[in-house]
Chain A
Amino acid sequence: MITFNNISKVYNSGAQTITALDQVTLEIKEGEIFGVIGFSGAGKSTLLRCVNALETPSEGEVLVGGDLLATLSPKQLRKKRKTIGMIFQHFNLLQAKTVFDNIAIPLYLLGYKKRDVKNKVRELLSFVELSEQAHKYPDQLSGGQKQRVGIARALATDPSILLCDEATSALDPQTTSSILALLKKINAAYNITILIITHEMNVIQEICDSVAVMENGRVIETGSVFDVFAYPKTATARRFVSSVLQDELPLSLQQMLYKQDETHQIYRIVFTGESTGQPLLSQVAKNFHVDVSVLYGHVTELQGTPFGNLVVQLKGEANEISKTLAYIQDQAVEVREVVSHAS
């Protein structure tokens, strides 16, 4: 649906040149919810804005729905943009217009008749659950309600793609969840491809199918949300994963273990899918001469699949421990030694 083909974006501000995007190649499939995560300044917004040509890459090409954006005339581009909805961190609603009129704007721009506008806006209002607020002004709404107006406005032209730039970053956790649920509903109901930019890993965890991790203008890691969470390859990805899964040992615990010089016996066990349900640890305790103590753990759900992360300490003789580890791996459960960060 969206293809970034080796795109770069360089800004020249005075003597300085800033490479906001550095040879990014990505493919976003039709109907999926794709998340891009990265720290501030990583180039996420720049990437997103290339999709509706608010930004033009200095190099490389962007294909949207089979059209090469660079080859479109201004008129064709405007037509294309009507098939791409966009929502913003700060909502960008017209303060002087009611909720109803804000949602109606794209329709008026298309030259719809008053009656058609009315019907369409009513339908959108009820979809985003704002029918009661139709005649209020943006400054009378909560942040979550404002974002719902933004979403309804973005959907007015029946787009096939929805771009979300930090759409939940100005909202509290609960409101964030309700907006994410709404985005999921949009994706399911209309099969709209959604591209989400965020610096919050929980957004990725809650609704995305695939994710790309960006750093310094580059995509440093990409894959299904499950793979990136379960097997993060880069330090940055691990940091993001840790921010929601809390799979890092707390510092106090690390220090305690370090003092006791027992860090070499600590292992991380990653359960995925069906293995999460297995009584693995009790079997280990029964069958091997090792003592198992659970130091830290967390079970969550990723893309509807259970996912567990357990940090354990194994005490026993070396050959017994290696037998234990082999057994665990046989159960198709990933296990690896934890390297202490306390030093």
Chain B
Amino acid sequence: MQVDWNTFYQDMLEATGQTVTMVVFSLLFSVLIGIPLGIALVVTREGHLLQNKWLFRLLSIIINIFRSVPFIILMVAIIPFTRFIVGSSIGTAAAVVPLIVYAGPYIARLVETNLLDIDPGIIEAAEAMGATPWQTIFRIMLPEAFSSLVLSVTIATVGLVGASAMAGTIGGGGLGDLAISYGYQRFETDVMIVTVILLIVFVQGLQSIGNVLSKKLRRR
């Protein structure tokens, strides 16, 4: 029943690579989607820079819908969309799509909280200086929230590591897939243990990097 680690380590490496690929790509796109959405959620609310009641409500509702579907269901539910985007519903690339749909709205909410945390007095000062809404967003709000934004992205990345393990089961591969197919289905306890340790190391490493970076950026 035991796996031969002399050859199995290669499977392990491959799985790690797949996890990294899934996390990196899904993170990249969900940040690209999440940050503008988060900004929009803040500046379109009543009394803010670009207040727009309907846009705000629409965005908020859409984000809530995505946020309320558990990832494992979301993954299956959007298979037609995934197939439309990447041409297939299995494989690493196919796993990235639901991961983005999952993490994008999540990041948007985190960014929203970060930006709302900025002292309104600072935004008022910008307005009093004659800054355009655009300048206020990019030259005042984002720099001021940058360090907490980094922490938010870290949280989202850790979430993506977890979600990518689930995504792996629809053919994306990765560490989660390995743990399930060997550790769970074939009772290879040592594979399970090694995978879990790797995931722990991953998460610890990411969080530490995030913390250090955020602290450095708190003052720029």
Q: Which residues of A contact B (CB under 8 A)?
A: 52, 54, 77-82, 84, 86, 88, 90, 92-98, 105-106, 108-109, 137, 153, 157, 163
| Residues on B with beta carbons closer than 8 Å to the beta carbon of A84 | 128
5 A–B contact pairs at CB < 8 A?
A54-B128, A82-B130, A96-B143, A96-B217, A96-B220
Tell me if B48 is interfacial: C-beta within 8 Å of chain A: no
Task: Select one of A80, A90, A95, A108 contacting B144, CB under 8 A.
Answer: A95
Q: Bound state CA distance, A92 and B123, in angstroms?
A: 8
Contact call B220/A105, Cβ cutoff below 8 A: no
Is B131's CB under 8 angstroms from A109's CB?
yes
User: What residues on A are CB-neighbors of B127 within 8 Å?
Assistant: 54, 81
- Residue-wise, chain B 40-77 has the 8 Å CB interface mask toward A (1 for contact) of 00000000000000000000000000000000000000
CB of B143 within 8 A of CB of A52, answer no
**Whose C-beta in chain B lies nearest to the C-beta of A95?**
B144
Interface size on B, residues (CB 8 A): 23
Given contacts A80-B130, A81-B130, A153-B125, 10 further A-B contacts (CB under 8 A): A52-B128, A54-B127, A79-B130, A90-B119, A95-B219, A96-B146, A96-B218, A106-B130, A109-B129, A109-B139
Which of these, A86, A94, A96, A97, contacts B128 with CB under 8 Å?
Answer: A86
Closest 6 pairs (CB-CB, A-B):
A81-B130, A92-B121, A78-B130, A92-B125, A86-B128, A82-B130
The listed residue (A88, A98, A137, A157) touching B129 by CB distance below 8 A is A157
Inter-chain CA distance A82–B144, complex, in Å, is 22
List the B side residues contacting A105 at CB < 8 Å. Answer: 126, 129, 139-140
Closest chain-B Cβ to A268's Cβ sits at a distance in Å of 43
Residue of A nearest to B220 (CB): A96
A137 near B219 (CB under 8 angstroms)? yes
Select which of A86, A109, A137, A157 is within 8 A of B135 by beta carbon.
Answer: A109
Interface-central residue, B126, B131, B146, B147, by most chain A CB under 10 Å: B131
Whether, in the assembled complex, B7 has its beta carbon less than 8 Å from a beta carbon of chain A, the answer is: no
B124 CB-CB contact with A under 8 Å: yes
Restricting to B113-154, which residues have a CB under 8 Å from any CB of A?
119, 121-122, 124-132, 135, 139-140, 143-144, 146-147
* B122 near A81: Cβ-Cβ < 8 Å: no
Interface centre among A81, A90, A94, A97 (most CB of B within 10 A): A94
How distant is the Cα of A84 from the Cα of B130 in the complex, in angstroms? 9
Bound state CA distance, A113 and B119, in angstroms? 29
Is the pair A108, B139 in contact by a Cβ cutoff of 8 Å?
yes
* Distance, CA A163 to CA B144, complexed state (A): 24
Note all chain B residues with C-beta closer than 8 A to A109.
129-131, 135, 139
Decide: A97 and B220 in contact? CB cutoff 8 A: yes
- Nearest-Cβ distance from residue A194 to partner chain B, whole angstroms: 15
